[in-house]
Chain A
Amino acid sequence: MAILIDENKKVIIQGITGREGMARTKLMMGYGTNVIAGVTPGKGGGEVLQVPVYDTVAECVENFGDIDVSVIFVPAPLVKNAALEAFDHGIHLVVIIPDRVPIWDVMEIVRKAKETNARFIGPNTLGLLSPGKAVLGMIGGRAETAREWFKPGNVGVASRSGGITSSIAYYLSSSGVGLSSIVHVGGDAIVGTPHPDVMKMFEADPETKGVVMFGEIGTSQEEQVADLIENGEFTKPLIAYIGGKAAKEGTRFSHAGAIIEGGRGTYEGKVKRLKEVGAHVVDAFNDISVVTKEVLGMD
């Protein structure tokens, strides 16, 4: 088992004919993701990598029945429309890759997702991957590197940074710690599936024995994870690293979500709260693999 994605889920790509859409469709299909169709308004009737392209999501459903997942690669100003279209056609998992999606659009997407009982990952996400099964988005870049870097196993990874998602997963894999699923929750202030939601899914996944989480200054995601542990809703070992120790208050360092506002979301506050509830907070990034092995009694 894995969380969110495996090789059987039926996947469509919205924005399949664009620069990134095309390149990442190749990655996803090469890795084993079951990509069945693509959508680009105005370009229906064509093909990308032998995948049929339609003008609308409705046509995908008419031709292939229920769709499980949509991965969105359209430009940021068009994301809201694409996501609402996916939800309207019964898609329960939408992965929103682009960054710079306006926050009022994101709030509308949240509202619609709630109404249709759907979930979304991102925006501003590199995606997610279940080693040996499937990938959604662009993690790994190419199928062969994704296979080389990420090994299957029992540790879940969740991160607020795309690059760090891959690097933690790679360092764990190369030190002999295999992975159940790895999820980049997205770098923005509002994301569809923040850390606490991912933790709940890892909790429910029997294959996952422990989780490594990369947190960052800003937002209250890590504090909420601490609450889950305290309330007994997340019981598996958690190894955490918090980025942004040197960042000064009020200055944004590229991730829209990584900003300390009004004394909230500080490095110290997050570390303290996580330590209080028994999470293993690692000070040096390079120690993540070693500590994970110790905590899970590996070697």
Chain B
Amino acid sequence: MARLYEYQGKELLQKFKIPVPNGELAATPEDVYRIASELNKPVVLKIQVWSTKRAQYDGIQFADTPEEAREKSSSLFGKMVHNFKVENVLVEEKIEIKSEFYTGLIIDDSMKQPVLLFSSKGGSGIEEIAKECPDKVTKRYIDVLTGLKDYQAREMVRKTGISGKLQLQLGNILVKLFDVAKKYETRAAEINPLVLTSEGKIIAADCRITIEDYAVFRHPELGIEIAREFDRPPSELDKIAYNVEKNDYRGTFYFIQMEQGFKKGEGYVGFHGAGGGGSMMSMDAVIKQGFKIANFTDTSGNPPASKVYRAAKIILSQKNIDAYFGSGSGVASQEQFHSARGLVKAFREQNLSIPAVIRLGGNQEDLAVDILQEYTKDLPAPVEGYKKDDSADFCAERLRILVDKHQNAAVQKKKQELFLPKEPYTFATLTGTVTFDHAACLCCKTKACISACGPQILNLEDEKPVLAISREEAAKGKCTECLACELECEFHGKKATFISLPIPGLTD
């Protein structure tokens, strides 16, 4: 779930006319001073981090004067809370609270419906409140199509013993909260506390809103960088990987870095799963062998070879990993040679120096394992491919054996040969470019690229491979980026093909 900061959540509440305290976001103590001066009242300073325990970290402080606010805020900026560094502080007028309430809209997966909770007691978490005083908490499932009606909201409030004008005011907020949740497709939208001020106004003093990951694309105005919940700020590599996924709709590529800053020999594995369930099981298998997971990756849903290649390059860019482990469910419906080719291209470009075990069980597994093993034979490190009758546990054991054996092997980094075509013929694909060196193609006897081409979009013209379709069609996805032409040319032709698949932000 993509989390919003408190100040972002309050912006959404305001759009639906749910009152929030007057205030502004500050990035420096000077900002704090200015905002506090403008408010001209005692203020509260609230660090903006993804944590529900800010008070425990002294992340919420009060100040009577702008000077005091500036002074107190200087210890807040740069503070570490969990794994997050405080970059912003919300400066708000201090509210005179008469009483506190809670309201939250969450999605109940077993009932498959949104459910609205209201409690006439606020402050702590709703679970605790419900346990301590169940008579103060009401909940109501809401029809997504018809929404929450005003009388229904007031009825909820009434059940907790509130009547009159206050019932009317609170009911009004509940209806608006549902509208916010629906409009921004939140996974959870909580106001806690919702307060009644000494002047009789209702104000959302704090809020916690998360946007559902799959809906983030419909809300670009929220500026969510990575649609996913993290317990730390996303790493550079997380961002690079996320952009690969975002810019290629074919199949799924999920990447999250689990550890950073580890050293060689500590047993960290670059983990490349396929399919959610199989990946988790394979992760368990590799951990059982005493390895640790540097990253969790899942490429599945029939991704093209190019996407698997990018995933592998990103995994391998984690400098100190000791091994590479690829394993999915073991019986994949997708044709596995695409994954094999993607891995081979990445392994070859990196001149792979760490052992790799890849479990390629599933459709076309024989061909997939052949490609993987045959085309990595000349690499410094061993690469083993396995099929559907080999369990994840067995493959993890093989990795343990290879790593133990390989530990002291000295590997020299081979200098990568540059591809400098004399007579380049280039066409664009959906996410890259294919180049043939027609000068070399002339004396090629096999023309392996033509027969290897998955979608069969190449023709021979004057003994040279050219597109049999229009360049536009190739660029729009008719070239499936199966990578077969490059690999077959390298092994059976004149090494005259290169497919460039850039990964923005990734440096070797």
Set of chain A residues within 8 Å of B250, measured between Cβ atoms: 19
Residue pair B107, A244 in contact (C-beta under 8 Å)? no
Residue pair B281, A189 in contact (C-beta under 8 Å)? no
The docked-state distance in angstroms from the alpha carbon of A201 to that of B214 is 30
Whether a CB of chain B sits under 8 angstroms from the CB of A296 is: no
Residue pair A262, B330 in contact (C-beta under 8 Å)? no
Known A-B contacts A190-B109, A216-B277, A246-B283; A104 and B335 likewise in contact (beta carbons under 8 Å): no
Residue pair B276, A253 in contact (C-beta under 8 Å)? yes
Whether a CB of chain A sits under 8 angstroms from the CB of B113 is: yes
Interface of B is mostly: mixed
Whether a CB of chain A sits under 8 angstroms from the CB of B340 is: no
Set of chain A residues within 8 Å of B389, measured between Cβ atoms: 174
Residue pair A141, B334 in contact (C-beta under 8 Å)? yes
Set of chain B residues within 8 Å of A219, measured between Cβ atoms: 109-110
Per-residue B-contact encoding for A200-220, CB less than 8 Å = 1, 0 else: 000000000000001010011
Residue pair A163, B283 in contact (C-beta under 8 Å)? no
User: B144 is contacted by which of A107, A166, A255 (Cβ under 8 Å)?
Assistant: A107
Number of B residues near A (Cβ < 8 Å) is 61
User: A164 is contacted by which of B287, B329, B391 (Cβ under 8 Å)?
Assistant: B329
Closest CB-CB distance, B68 to chain A, in whole Å?
36
Per-residue B-contact encoding for A103-127, CB less than 8 Å = 1, 0 else: 1101110110000000000000010
User: B229 is contacted by which of A20, A108, A161, A252 (Cβ under 8 Å)?
Assistant: A252
Number of A residues near B (Cβ < 8 Å) is 65
Whether a CB of chain B sits under 8 angstroms from the CB of A15 is: no
User: A163 is contacted by which of B112, B217, B274 (Cβ under 8 Å)?
Assistant: B274
Closest CB-CB distance, A3 to chain B, in whole Å?
20
Whether a CB of chain A sits under 8 angstroms from the CB of B392 is: yes
Whether a CB of chain A sits under 8 angstroms from the CB of B300 is: yes
Set of chain A residues within 8 Å of B361, measured between Cβ atoms: 167
Set of chain A residues within 8 Å of B231, measured between Cβ atoms: 250-251
Residue pair B335, A141 in contact (C-beta under 8 Å)? yes
Whether a CB of chain B sits under 8 angstroms from the CB of A156 is: no
Residue pair B333, A216 in contact (C-beta under 8 Å)? no
Whether a CB of chain B sits under 8 angstroms from the CB of A138 is: yes
Per-residue B-contact encoding for A150-194, CB less than 8 Å = 1, 0 else: 000000000111111011011100100000000000010110001
User: A104 is contacted by which of B215, B273, B330 (Cβ under 8 Å)?
Assistant: B215
Set of chain B residues within 8 Å of A243, measured between Cβ atoms: 277, 280-281, 284
Known A-B contacts A163-B330, A167-B330, A246-B287; A103 and B127 likewise in contact (beta carbons under 8 Å): no
B300's nearest neighbour on chain A, judged by CB, is A163
The docked-state distance in angstroms from the alpha carbon of A164 to that of B291 is 23
Most buried by A among B143, B214, B249, B393: B214
Residue pair B107, A107 in contact (C-beta under 8 Å)? yes
Residue pair B277, A220 in contact (C-beta under 8 Å)? no
Closest CB-CB distance, A273 to chain B, in whole Å?
14
Whether a CB of chain A sits under 8 angstroms from the CB of B331 is: yes
Whether a CB of chain B sits under 8 angstroms from the CB of A76 is: yes
A76's nearest neighbour on chain B, judged by CB, is B214
Whether a CB of chain B sits under 8 angstroms from the CB of A275 is: no
Pairs A-B, 4 closest by C-beta atoms: A161-B277, A163-B329, A163-B275, A255-B276
28 A-B residue contacts at CB 8 Å? A19-B477, A102-B185, A103-B212, A104-B182, A104-B215, A107-B107, A107-B112, A107-B144, A140-B333, A141-B363, A161-B275, A161-B329, A162-B277, A163-B333, A164-B281, A167-B388, A170-B388, A189-B109, A219-B110, A245-B284, A250-B231, A251-B229, A253-B283, A254-B279, A254-B296, A254-B298, A257-B109, A286-B393
